Homo-oligomer: A and B are copies of this chain.
């Protein structure tokens, strides 16, 4: 069930307004309209997304690339589609997408090799952990 702006209670409208102001677009995507059925989760999730995805030690595009890598690893179709679109909007080129996919698939492969070969962690990697 997707809750549209017009039908939303004030608490949800406030989040929608902030999404629009922050993203500088009128468009509210389905994810938020679905979460709106639980205003507490909507607020908390949006506050987290706004805080975590803003520029910091990592730039917003790098953060989107990480988001896509996680989403592709988990196989979340919605998240892959929405964050790939976000990454493109923030400057991801086809070459960058290609390398993102190459790293993501390689990491998924070597994770299983390390698991399956039961590789013991090198002492050198434990330092400072």
Contacts and interface: CB of A to CB of B under 8 A. Distances in A.
A122 to B, nearest CB: 5
A41 B110 CA distance: 11
A91 to B, nearest CB: 11
Contacts of A52: 44, 99, 102-103, 106
A113 B30 CA distance: 12
Interface band, chain A? 35 or more
A101 B129 contact: no
A58 B99 contact: yes
Contact of A117 (B101, B107, B111, B112): B101
A107 B66 contact: yes
Interface of A: 1, 27, 29-31, 34-35, 37-38, 40-41, 44-45, 48-49, 51-53, 56-58, 62-63, 65-85, 93-122, 124-126, 128-129
